[in-house]
Amino acid sequence: MADRFRLTLAQLNPTVGDLAGNAAQALRAWEEGRAAGADLVALPEMFVTGYQTQDLVLKPAFHQAAIATIEALARDCAEGPALALGGPALEGVGLYNAYYVLAGGRVAARVLKHHLPNSDVFDEKRVYASGPVTGPYAVAGVRLGSPICEDAWFPDVAETLAETGAEILLVPNGSPHYRGKMAVRQNHMVARVVETGLPLVYVNLVGGQDDQVFDGGSFVLDPGGALALQLPMFEEAVAHVDFTRGPDGWRAVPGPLAPLPDDLEQDYHAMVLALRDYLRKSGFSKVLLGLSGGVDSALVATIAVDALGAENLRCVMLPSEYTSEASLEDARAVAARLGCRYDTVPIAEGRAAITATLAPLFAGLEPDLTEENIQSRLRGLLLMALSNKFGEMLLTTGNKSEVAVGYATIYGDMAGGYNPIKDLYKTRVFEICRWRNAHHRAWMAGPAGGVIPPRVIDKPPSAELRANQKDSDSLPDYPVLDGILHILVDQDGSISDCIAAGFDEAAARRVEHLLYISEYKRFQSAPGTRLSARAFWLDRRYPIVNRWRAP
């Protein structure tokens, strides 16, 4: 009977659909584990396909190719430690989310996921069949049990594994990030450890996939719930964990405990990682955006530079007669501090030509929002022309407050391929800007220091589509707006909940109305980084046509 067991833990960043590339990553981790004398190298859930695959995994040619990739990987890893990783499996007529253990050139064991998540961003009951709860598998004389992700959020699978002889729980995960998620995970895993008396290894994916971010943060718990190892969040990492058997069973030899960043840093790192991976995985290396002199575009520019480097960002100021000199100065200052390219493309001539074209149809009608939106749509046209010409993805810069109430022009400032701050309320934008000015990390490609001038953060927000315009002309002040939205969106609350929280009923009803009538805009908006458990897209699915209002 073995008294020592070495596990190599690899939290890596796969790409959905890149079977060969993901397998190559797994092979490199296996080689690193072999060099370190590991008995088992463990990777996360659905690693070979990337995660989430959504309906892609239903395609027979795809899941068959993924299974063939796993079988080929088993042959490549025949001489050395066992390799465990996630991928699809076929059993009879069912398609399963599975965890494979490869050893001796073959699939030595296979676990099928039992509890299929079907809330927020997950729709696994639609895609996979539920597998049976089974017993442990053996590697190097040690019996391991692998509840797959959601399986470890409930007591039954882990309890069955403990009762049937498991000595260590190895939990593979594709657990996407939202604010506060790490504490939720650790609480669930501590519960499994306390219930079973077994040590637990939690290995999670890292990286961006569409709107979702997988934040890594893998960890090891000893019996009783003490933390024995903590890997960093939002970064790839490989660690070797030694377990020793004593009179009371297996325990992990303590390893490094990476510090967990606070919520502001987690938000910012998630946006940087999500943007970098969205571009890298979709084949883009450069971006551009309209830099208005306002705080939102300044923050997106900073995120882009930290993700890609200043040489890969083009900032474009598109002034009209309503653009203030202060905005021109502020935009130039942001670009200069970031060290990125800065172009100026005035829109006056183009706007005059469009106005003249429409004049016969608009004769006798007073100027209104239509003329304001022409400016925004002209800017979108010009930015998309630059995007097409130079192969640079256009970033859009609307915050969650604006996205919620439709304070944006569809086919105008909403134009773009990705929006890093889509799930960041305006009040949070200000906080993140101040945080970035005061902090710099090794994973940031941009310069240290106050890259966003204080005046950009402190001045009253304005779209500058008419003279002396301020956002507060059209919306409640942002602390009020965001407070109401937090109740209506993040808490799925009601008008009465808003009133109970001290908000004016008329303001709450107006915000609710704007929220509902803007659904069609969100349906056509660019994807953006998911930071909360109620981001716009998969977390919150509402009909576009909707006449219901709270009584």
Structural contact between residues 181 and 175, judged by C-beta atoms closer than 8 angstroms = yes
| Distance separating alpha carbons of residues 55 and 45, to the nearest angstrom | 17
| Distance separating alpha carbons of residues 110 and 112, to the nearest angstrom | 7
Would you call 470 a catalytic residue per the annotation?
A: no
3-state secondary structure 95-151: EEEEEEEEECCEEEEEEECCCCCCCCCCCHHHHCCCCCCCCCEEECCEEEECCCHHH
Other residues' Cβ atoms within 10 Å of the Cβ of residue 522 = 20
| Distance separating alpha carbons of residues 324 and 315, to the nearest angstrom | 18
| Catalytic one of 45, 167, 235, 512 | 45
Structural contact between residues 401 and 481, judged by C-beta atoms closer than 8 angstroms = yes
392-416: b or e for each residue (b if 16 or more CB lie within 10 Å)?
bbbbbbbbbbbbbbbbbbbebbbbb
Would you call 45 a catalytic residue per the annotation?
A: yes
Structural contact between residues 315 and 289, judged by C-beta atoms closer than 8 angstroms = yes
SS3 240: strand
Q: Edge-to-edge, what's the strand order for the sheet holding 227-230? A: 137-139, 142-145, 168-173, 200-204, 219-221, 227-230
Phi, psi angles (nearest 5°) of residue 42: -115, 130
Dihedral, CA atoms, 436, 416, 466, 510, nearest 10 degrees? Answer: -80
Q: Residue 174, exposed/middle/buried by CB under 10 A (0-12, 13-18, 19+)? A: buried
Closest CA to 421 of 439, 443, 436, 411: 436
Would you call 149 a catalytic residue per the annotation?
A: yes
**List of long-range contacts for 278-282, beta carbons under 8 Å, 24+ apart:** 278/208, 278/210, 278/418, 278/527, 279/307, 279/308, 279/393, 279/418, 281/15, 281/16, 281/208, 281/209, 282/393
SS3 399: coil
Structural contact between residues 8 and 229, judged by C-beta atoms closer than 8 angstroms = no
Q: Is the peptide bond before 266 cis (omega within 30 degrees of 0)?
A: no
Q: How far is CA 75 from CA 5, 108, 218, in A?
A: 23, 12, 28
Structural contact between residues 155 and 195, judged by C-beta atoms closer than 8 angstroms = yes
Question: Length of the chain, please?
Answer: 551
Phi, psi angles (nearest 5°) of residue 209: -145, 105
Find the angle CA(279)-CA(282)-CA(287) to the nearest 5 degrees.
Answer: 35
| Catalytic one of 77, 113, 124, 150 | 113
Dihedral, CA atoms, 453, 456, 458, 462, nearest 10 degrees? Answer: 180
| Catalytic one of 77, 149, 340, 433 | 149
| Distance separating alpha carbons of residues 339 and 310, to the nearest angstrom | 6
Structural contact between residues 29 and 274, judged by C-beta atoms closer than 8 angstroms = no
**Could you list the active site residues?**
45, 113, 149
